[in-house]
Structure 1
Amino acid sequence: MRKLVILVMVIVGLFPPMQLVKASIQPKLKKEDVLFVQVKRLNGETRIFKENDGYEEVIINKVVNWINTASPSEGVIELNKTPVISIMNIEMKNGDVAVIEPAYNCMIENQVKTCTLVDGEVIYTQNNKKVRLKSLELYDWFLVGWKYESVGASKDQLLEETLYTRYFSYLDKTYSDFIMCPRIDKVERMNGDTRRHIVHASALNYSAHHGDAPFDRIHITLTDTPENGVKINKVTIQKGISEKESLIQCRRES
């Protein structure tokens, strides 16, 4: 993916000189301020990731984190390049738009300007201010990775959510906030009987989904039998789990 190289040839004199701009800002986006992220390719491919979609919100959070943790690049920012092979618009809830596009290094030889795509670097623009950033993760995702993000939930996830919803109704209302990224972690047959099970389930608290505080995780152990129905045996709350653990819970990291 990072082997991609694109050359742009421009005859000097046919076009006005390119403006060179140096980095002026270090972006610090807030996840809760983003409405959607849209990626567009020169060949017409496009995709939108929306904040109000529970699965796509996790993807937006990942992109925002890459932007905020990217390193400023010492390279100049060359404007008016053609063609722009890919562009990403980040629409804010207040109407502002931040833009990400590829970074190029250009040189002139025999009155011909050659511009080469820079591996691992992008140009970030917000409020008419530009900064050149280094982030291999953001660069790879921006050019190709976004196309391979899953759309909605898999059949296995839908089955787990259906089961969790059934069992969730037996919980005390004290735990009503634990509805995010539900998982059926383990199912054990009782004495080998296919109709009687011990079920271990978990989920995250929805109130932490904007990233203001770490997620808490609920762990539920229950029995499900024909004669007694669902019986909750044990409930524990794991406070302040790590970001990595929350991504694993939501199937965003293995």
Structure 2
Amino acid sequence: MKKWVLLLLVVVYGLFFQIDITNADFQLQKPLLTREDILSVKVNGLYGRSRLFRENDGYEEVIIYKIINWINTLNLSVGPTEFELNKTSTLPNLRINMKNGNVSVIEPAYNCLSSSKTKICTLAEGEVIYTWNSKKVRLQSRELFDWLLVGWKYESVGASKDELLEETLYSRYYPYFDKTYSNFIMCPRIDKIERINGDTRRHIVHVSALNYSAHHGDIPYDRIHVTLSDTPENGVKIIKVGIEKDLSKKESAGQCRREN
């Protein structure tokens, strides 16, 4: 009898071990998504609320990149990928629209228990179901799980008045830059403005921006720092230019007002 029990345990262990190998093979197939593939991301929340984030919107693009990064760093989780709930239930989901016409879907994962004729399903904290090409996999991500349920509601809509003003001023000064620095157009900031001898018409302006060529995330951003004078008699004159190389993710996020 003991031999049969031992044999059964070995078979069961082998089955689970085989599943783990399959999951490990899937983990190696990363990244799951690339930025160049994405057209838009749409969140469908509870009670009919939704929001669309578009790849060609310079402001929403950053949010899409954050989501892609979460997806590409997910870890596999053990549990069912199919569940049955009341058909009248409204479940939040994230639809990722690809440029080739395909659609991937992310939904919260559930754990269900059956008792007699009753099935009770509850949210699996920090876990989601990812569906693509008729395939489903259960993954772990506290950040993506929280964002899917509530976080998307608090993403800023468009740029603030101050940010738009800084972009306008930077656009005025940008044509005076040497062509060598033409790539520095991302997340412009007016860091400081000083009056010259207290005159309200004459100023020293300190501006900065990131290089656009690094926006795919493959390499760190560089940041330009420009000091210039702006006066009625002489117009815009460049005083000093400096390049800050290889910014950290925290520094570049701060430049683009994406500290969180």
Shorter-chain TM-score range:
0.7 to 0.9
Partners of 1:195 and 1:250 in 2: how far apart? 29
Residue pairs, 1:123-142, within 5 angstroms: 123-142=129-148
Query: Which protein has the bigger strand share?
Result: 1
Give the % identical residues: 66
Most deviating of 84-93 and 184-193: 184-193
Root-mean-square deviation (Å): 1.9
Partners of 1:172 and 1:69 in 2: how far apart? 40
Q: Does 1:247 align with 2:253?
A: yes
Residue pairs, 1:1-254, within 5 angstroms: 24=23, 25-26=26-27, 28=31, 29-82=33-86, 83-253=89-259
Conserved in 1, the CA contact under 8 Å of 2:106 and 2:130?
yes
Letter of the 2:80 counterpart: V
Q: Spell out, residue by residue over 1:143-175, the C-alpha distance to the aligned partner (whole angstroms, 9 max, x if none).
A: 111122112211101100000000111111221
Letter of the 1:94 counterpart: N
Q: Spell out, residue by residue over 1:14-53, the C-alpha distance to the aligned partner (whole angstroms, 9 max, x if none).
A: xxxxxxx998544621122111100112411111101000
Q: Spell out, residue by residue over 1:97-154, the C-alpha distance to the aligned partner (whole angstroms, 9 max, x if none).
A: 1110011011111321100012211111112222212212111111111122112211
Most deviating of 194-203 and 154-163: 194-203
Q: Spell out, residue by residue over 1:188-242, the C-alpha distance to the aligned partner (whole angstroms, 9 max, x if none).
A: 2223332222111111111222223222211111111222221111111222212
Conserved in 1, the CA contact under 8 Å of 2:210 and 2:223?
yes
How far off its partner does 1:84 sit?
Answer: 4.4
Could you tell me which runs of 5 or more consecutive residues in structure 2 were left unpaired when the two chains were aligned: 1-18
Letter of the 2:213 counterpart: S
Most deviating of 206-215 and 59-68: 206-215
Partners of 2:103 and 2:243 in 1: how far apart? 39
Query: Which protein has the bigger helix share?
Result: 2
Q: TM-score, normalised by structure 1?
A: 0.86
How far off its partner does 1:184 sit?
Answer: 0.5
Q: TM-score, normalised by structure 2?
A: 0.84
How far off its partner does 1:69 sit?
Answer: 1.4
Larger radius of gyration: 2
Letter of the 1:148 counterpart: Y
Partners of 1:80 and 1:172 in 2: how far apart? 62
Partners of 2:85 and 2:212 in 1: how far apart? 44
Number of aligned residue pairs: give it.
234
Most deviating of 125-134 and 114-123: 125-134
Equivalent residue of 2:204, what SS?
strand
Partners of 2:193 and 2:241 in 1: how far apart? 16
Partners of 2:220 and 2:246 in 1: how far apart? 5
Equivalent residue of 1:37, what SS?
strand
Conserved in 2, the CA contact under 8 Å of 1:187 and 1:197?
yes
Aligned counterpart, 2:7: none
Partners of 2:70 and 2:57 in 1: how far apart? 20
How far off its partner does 1:65 sit?
Answer: 0.6
Conserved in 2, the CA contact under 8 Å of 1:31 and 1:211?
no
Partners of 1:118 and 1:202 in 2: how far apart? 44
Equivalent residue of 1:169, what SS?
helix
Conserved in 1, the CA contact under 8 Å of 2:41 and 2:53?
yes
How far off its partner does 1:79 sit?
Answer: 3.1
Partners of 1:98 and 1:201 in 2: how far apart? 40
